[in-house]
Amino acid sequence: MPVLKNIKAIAKGMSITFMEMFQPTQVENYPDGPGPLRGARFEERYRGMHVLQRDENGLEKCVACFLCAAACPSNCIYIEAAENTETNRVSGAERYAKVYNIDYNRCIFCGYCVEACPTDAITHGHGFELASFNASNLIYRKEQMLAAAPAHMGANAVFNSADVAGGAPALPVQGS
């Protein structure tokens, strides 16, 4: 009897619906949820906007080896290297990244750059609110991705626009 068969199928489907109605909700209430993340939840391994890490002395870990740029399948990392001097020490090794840009128009968040980095300088943070009406805003500079400096270096220099090289507008580091 096809009619009976259909009714049975509908009843089965509806029973699942009613069962789920009384389960705790799985839907994230982003962006209207509580807390700084406004309801968003992440897995630990979520690959969001990159963070350029510092070492225990607060120096930048990136040594401008260009390996991330070489690994990047969408070719969106741009680096200019420079040499550390006595008076201007930026990274722990001989050289550092004077310019480090990631073009988030093109980044596919694959994590290859993180995989390639020999000094664990580049990592994926949890920042994800990157959307913009202006594509040129999506080219992030080193200053925007750098982890906050530790307290002994004048905490969070990155929030202080006077300290940002080239007077770039200082954006708070997202996620991390």
Closest contact distance (angstroms) between CB of 93 and ligand SF4 is 11
Closest contact distance (angstroms) between CB of 64 and other proteins is 7
DSSP string, the chain: -HHHHHHHHHHHHHHHHHHHHTSPP----TTTSSTTTTT----TT---EEEE-B-TTS-B------HHHHH-TT--EEEEEEE--SS---BSSSEEEEEEEEETTT-----HHHHH-TTS-EEEEEE-----SSGGGGEE-HHHHBPPPPGGGTS-GGG-GGGSGGGPPP-PPP--
Pick the closer one to ligand SF4 by CB: 50 or 54.
50
Binding at 113: pick from ligand SF4, other proteins, none (beta carbon under 5-8 Å per type): ligand SF4
Closest contact distance (angstroms) between CB of 146 and other proteins is 18
Query: Does the protein bind other proteins through residue 66 (CB under 8 A)?
Result: yes
Binding at 119: pick from ligand SF4, other proteins, none (beta carbon under 5-8 Å per type): other proteins
Binding test (CB under 8 A) with other proteins, winner from 119, 156, 174, 176:
119
Pick the closer one to other proteins by CB: 30 or 66.
66
User: Tokens 């897995």 belong to which residue?
Assistant: 43
Selection from 43, 61, 38 nearest residue 114 by Cα:
61
Query: Does the protein bind other proteins through residue 63 (CB under 8 A)?
Result: yes
Residues found near other proteins in the complex (CB under 8 A):
63-67, 69-70, 79-83, 93-95, 118-119
Residues found near ligand SF4 in the complex (CB under 6 A):
71-74, 76-77, 102, 107-113
